[in-house]
Structure 1
């Protein structure tokens, strides 16, 4: 089965003109172009997965707008989402799911053509930059995996639970041996996540872990000190066979230019406050 993996879409219907950080937010154009590129790719995906930060701290109207972009551009290809630290749960449940007054984490299992997708929520409290792996979600995952799916399982979550190519940033992710212990030896073929804004692949005991770069913006990870946020847009294309998982990245045509620079001291302060 072919799939497209998008992440960190950071969509807002109407972007602020006063908050400099919101220059990074997508008004929906990049997301629409990315989906169009994916569905028209020669290796056409049969499934679209989006791993969190769907909307940038928005309202129910923003989630309804985000969903309309999916509906207008996916051309009938099914999609499955999970939530990230910049998502707002009550707004998501109302605008995307059509349920008012709900603010719980989004944890769901979906079966598509024999492939099971389990969505977990590593930011059960809105705004947590550092991910969590609550015990009730680990219990849910273990229970679901007691029975194998016909074509195996993909787990999607925002914060990568294993593997991180850049040293020094491991604290952003919920590295939990308990998670690895649950998925290993089951029918889980891949664990897909985002949050890092760049592609990273890792294999552990037969399970492929992969992050997808953001459709909204990337970062200059080669620069020391201050962190430059870059105008970029990409997504992953993947293929699952009976015994293998393949993941590669595709770019969408955007110029490489700096949108915003975060001072190193501000980054360190933000991460310290999240611990």
Structure 2
């Protein structure tokens, strides 16, 4: 913002931080339908709406566009993964927008330092950033959701393996359904091909959709992970269920040292994005 100085941005951000609890209370009164779903969304999807709202406000006020886009991408994938109703997200972000403007008005009354020109400029910038967040979120949500739907369809047809690029270096491989010997072969062939062709540096393999695997299939998966490692790609396993973990332990098999394990896909996305 040309006329809205760094000092004023800092003071506005400080005003939001000092009134954080009041911001939360106001936000919850604005988000009528969502407020009763906050704990459920946290439990089911590991998505902390309230803390994420504070984070979003900081990115918007400070104009941190790259962080805003990355956050929207992460949120889109998280919501698509858990199939949470999109109407909740729409209401929540719109409630954040309204609450922000309520607080900006309070800030203006207390400070009386922003000119009319600055207020108009601030309105344009903040609303543009909220809209940009929405756009990036829905693109990310739709892309990931479509990929999951496509995977479910192709699993029945030809056991296809969806590798979803997140950026130039990171991709996700969400596995659902059953893993048999034939699918392990297809997995290894396609994964190694995609890692080589697309120069994937980190492949996040989400196993939350796999209830169980036989010993031979587990050995095949370990073999694939070894191949990934030899090609210079780091593999990250998420959503490993206790039944599979127990079998891996009983077989005396260990993951390659370059293979990392993280509890959930959301945690992996947060760490790597």
Give the TM-score normalised by the residue count of structure 2: 0.39
Give the TM-score normalised by the residue count of structure 1: 0.39
Which protein has greater RCO, CA pairs closer than 8 Å, 6+ apart?
1
Q: Greater strand share, 1 or 2?
A: 1
